[in-house]
Structure formats: structure tokens, C-alpha cells
Amino acid sequence: MKVLIDIPDNEAAFGIKVLKSLSFVKKAKPMSIAAVDLWDELKEAAEQVRLHKQGKLKLKTAQELLNEL
């Protein structure tokens, strides 16, 4: 299982050290700024798809997206 933990920058080194000291933690490494941005965009996209499936949000069609270009 993968778990995302948000740790303040000034405590990150200590947090990583603690996580690595736990025998059941396989890998603990910080995410790059680009990876965090991508993660946030993917979460937002997944939420939009969920709302669309519930009928709470109307998404653009592929044709509408192409017309914007």
C-alpha cells in the first residue's frame, strides 16, 4: 500500500528519517515539486470525473476541446 504524507518543509528531513527507521516501510522519499503538481492535477481530474458520473458536472466533449485550439 502507498500512503501520501504531507510534512512541513522544515520537518521533512526528520519525518523521512523516522519513516526509514520503521522496519515495515519499504521506501520513503520526498516528491519533487513537479510530481506534487501532477498529483494535484490528477486528483482534481478524478474528482471532476466522479462528479460527472453523478450528473453534478457537465464536462466538455472532445470536439469542444479541439475547437478551443
pTM: 0.62
- Ranges of each domain in the chain: 1-30, 32-69
The Cα–Cα gap between 17 and 21 comes to 6
**What integer is the mean pLDDT of 36-65?**
94
Asked if the model's pLDDT at residue 45 lies above 90, the reply is yes
Give residue-wise pLDDT tens across range 6-37. 999 999 999 999 999 999 999 999 999 899 99
Q: Sort 7 into a burial class: Cβ within 10 Å, 0-12 / 13-18 / 19+.
A: middle
Asked if the model's pLDDT at residue 55 lies above 90, the reply is yes
pLDDT for residue 2: 87
pLDDT for residue 4: 86
